């Protein structure tokens, strides 16, 4: 396999799938990209980007050597050496794991599977998913895992909006159902990644991903809880974190905010918590961290209420509010699980007139109502009652906002150098 040109199938062409497509293309592989969303495939074929991490020029580059073939059809599955499943794994309304996207994608692959192929699940999920859910579906076609078809789990480690770490430089954890499966998965990923870390089973690899994200959820939630205490004590949590960060060992800075969003950190730990119940275990840290995170948008709104009365003398239903940034993190257009959207909905439910500015999200829909990003001006800012910074995008005129707003509620500490030019409240 070292000398042949590999053909890779990437199922799910979002924030995880497209970077994988790009990386394997760079290494000279032929890549078949599959997504059920017609609009994504149409935009790809027009060399148009739907991801903030990729420009139109970068999308066009994917087609340069004629090795990329995007489609909604699964027929190309029969042509590839490896199938990488990069589909969503959300929670349902009861906060239970929803594997329907994974199962649907796999069932769509079944008619086209052939011997000697590798199937890798990259989507975040609970330990046991690969062996308990993926393997039985493949076995139903009469394949023998580890002999005539190979199955592994390798967690995605994409960090949307982050440009420091190149994807190929991030170690790739791989756990196969058998030793042969691990060997096959390593041989595929060796083509693209500088380091492949083999573990003893898919369950270890699955747990690895959830531990990474659970740690982050717990630490950020802890800082949010400390922030609420510091607020009552008249202490700046931001100054505390800066001071604690001067210790050269034993302290890692995490930062508070309006709530953790995105598809990974607020969701993945609950997959682990759900699975733990099968073993009569109650992961209290995760449950409590989730509770704190869920309450943060309400805390932001309550803080805003108090300061509206202080600075304008108005109640919420009489105010015009400008929200700055709706994405769940800076410099991307992803609003999945965004705390900013939850804040916006709470404000609308309480009768506030709400506008927003977000260069990455020109339109947004909340409660069946469509909103469009406004252009900021000194006149507009002066006529509104306040501005609330919810996402600290790099390309936003923060000085203009601070100078012309009645007051600013900053949930990201992005205006820390502007305290002398306006009224700024920090959470």
Q: How many domains does the chain have?
A: 2
Residue 211 lies in a domain: no
User: What is the rounded distance in angstroms from the CA atom of residue 360 to the CA atom of residue 347?
Assistant: 21
Provide the 10 A C-beta neighbour count for residue 366. Answer: 17
Q: Same domain, yes or no, for 194 and 220?
A: no
| pLDDT at res. 31 | 98
**Enclosing domain of residue 21:** 7-200
Q: Same domain, yes or no, for 160 and 232?
A: no
Q: Same domain, yes or no, for 15 and 61?
A: yes
Residue 268 lies in a domain: yes
Residue 205 lies in a domain: no
Q: Which residues contact 306 (CB under 8 A, 6 or more apart)?
A: none
Catalytic residue among 29, 109, 264, 386: 264
Residue 46 lies in a domain: yes
Tell me how far CA of residue 344 lies from CA of 246, 263, 371, 382, in angstroms: 36, 19, 11, 20
Q: Is the pTM of this model over 0.85?
A: yes
The CA dihedral of 70, 76, 79, 83, to the nearest 10 degrees, is 80
Instruction: Tell me the pLDDT of the chain (427 aa) as tens digits.
Output: 566 889 999 999 999 999 999 999 999 999 999 999 999 999 999 999 999 889 999 999 999 999 999 999 999 999 999 999 999 999 998 889 999 999 999 999 999 999 999 999 999 999 999 999 999 999 999 999 999 999 999 999 988 877 656 899 999 999 999 999 999 999 999 999 999 999 999 999 999 999 999 999 999 999 999 999 999 999 999 999 999 999 999 999 999 999 999 988 999 999 999 999 999 999 999 999 999 999 999 999 999 999 999 999 999 999 999 999 999 999 999 999 999 999 999 999 999 999 999 999 999 999 889 999 999 999 999 999 999 999 999 999 999 999 999 999 999 999 999 999 999 999 8
Q: What is the 3-state secondary structure (H, E, C) of the chain?
A: CCCCCCEEEEECCCCCHHHHHHHHHHCCCEEEEECCCHHHHHHHHCCCCCCCCCCHHHHHHCCCCCCEEEECCCHHHHHCCEEEECCCCCECCCCCECCHHHHHHHHHHHHHCCCCCEEEECCCCCCCHHHHHHHHHHHCCCCCECCCEEEEECCCCCCCCCCCCCHHHCCEEEEECCHHHHHHHHHHHCCCCCCEEECCCHHHHHHHHHHHHHHHHHHHHHHHHHHHHHHHHCCCHHHHHHHHCCCCCCCCCCCCCCCCCCCCCCCHHHHHHHHHHHHCCCCHHHHHHHHHHHHHHHHHHHHHHHHHHHHCCCCHHHCEEEEECCCCCCCCCCCCCCHHHHHHHHHHHCCCEEEEECCCCCEEEECCEEEECCCCCHHHHHHCCEEEECCCCCCCCHHHHHHHCCCEEECCCCCCCCCCCCCEEEC
Residue 282 belongs to domain with CATH number: 3.40.50.720
Indicate if 264 belongs to the active site. yes
| pLDDT at res. 53 | 86
Residue 206 lies in a domain: no
Residue 208 lies in a domain: no
Domain boundary among 200, 228, 246: 200
| pLDDT at res. 4 | 80
Q: Same domain, yes or no, for 70 and 137?
A: yes
Q: How far apart are the first and last CA of the chain?
A: 55
Radius of gyration of the chain (CA): 24
Q: Same domain, yes or no, for 47 and 184?
A: yes
Determine contact, residues 138/113, Cβ cutoff 8 Å.
yes
Q: Same domain, yes or no, for 189 and 226?
A: no
Domain boundary among 167, 200, 233: 200
Domain boundary among 141, 166, 200: 200
Q: Same domain, yes or no, for 382 and 294?
A: yes
Q: Same domain, yes or no, for 64 and 170?
A: yes
| pLDDT at res. 263 | 87
Residue 207 lies in a domain: no
Q: Same domain, yes or no, for 102 and 183?
A: yes
User: What is the rounded distance in angstroms from the CA atom of residue 409 to the CA atom of residue 382?
Assistant: 15
CA 291 to chain centre: 19
Q: Same domain, yes or no, for 177 and 290?
A: no
């Amino acid at each position: 396999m070292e000398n042949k040109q590999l053909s890779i199938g990437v199922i799910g062409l979002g924030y995880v799938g497209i970077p994988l497509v790009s990386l394997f293309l760079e290494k000279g592989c032929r890549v078949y990209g599959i997504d059920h969303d017609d609009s994504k495939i149409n935009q790809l074929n027009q060399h148009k980007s739907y991801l903030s991490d990729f420009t139109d020029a970068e999308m066009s580059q994917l087609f340069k050597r004629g090795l990329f073939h995007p489609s909604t059809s699964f027929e190309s599955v029969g042509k590839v050496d490896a199938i990488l499943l990069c589909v969503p794994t959300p929670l349902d309304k009861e906060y239970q794991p929803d594997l329907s996207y994974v199962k649907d994608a796999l069932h769509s692959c079944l008619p086209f599977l052939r011997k000697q192929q590798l199937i890798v699940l990259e989507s975040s999920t609970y330990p046991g998913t690969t062996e308990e859910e993926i393997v039985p579906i493949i076995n139903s076609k009469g394949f023998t895992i580890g002999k005539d078809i190979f199955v592994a789990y390798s967690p995605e480690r994409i960090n949307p909006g982050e440009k420091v770490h190149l994807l190929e430089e991030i170690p790739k954890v791989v756990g196969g159902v058998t030793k042969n499966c691990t060997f096959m998965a390593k041989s595929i990923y060796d083509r693209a990644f500088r380091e492949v870390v083999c573990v003893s089973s898919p369950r270890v690899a699955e747990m690895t991903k959830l531990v990474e994200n659970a740690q982050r959820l717990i630490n950020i939630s802890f800082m949010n809880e400390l922030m609420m205490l510091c607020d009552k004590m008249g202490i700046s949590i931001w100054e505390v974190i800066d001071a604690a960060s001067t210790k050269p060992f034993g302290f890692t800075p995490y930062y508070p905010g309006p709530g953790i969003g995105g598809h990974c950190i607020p969701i993945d730990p609950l997959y682990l918590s759900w699975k733990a119940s099968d073993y009569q275990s109650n992961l209290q840290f995760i449950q409590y961290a989730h509770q704190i995170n869920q309450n943060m948008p309400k805390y932001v709104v309550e803080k805003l209420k108090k300061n509206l009365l202080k600075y304008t003398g108005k109640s919420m239903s009489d105010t015009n509010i400008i929200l700055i940034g709706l994405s769940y993190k800076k410099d991307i257009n992803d609003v999945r699980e965004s705390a900013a959207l939850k804040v916006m909905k709470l404000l609308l439910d309480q009768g506030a007139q709400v506008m927003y500015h977000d260069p990455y999200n020109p339109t947004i829909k909340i409660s069946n109502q469509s909103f469009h990003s406004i252009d900021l001006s000194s006149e507009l800012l002066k006529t509104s009652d306040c501005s609330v910074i919810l996402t600290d995008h790099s390309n936003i005129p923060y000085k203009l906002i601070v100078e012309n707003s009645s007051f600013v509620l900053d949930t990201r500490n992005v205006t820390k150098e502007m305290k002398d030019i306006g009224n700024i409240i920090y959470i």
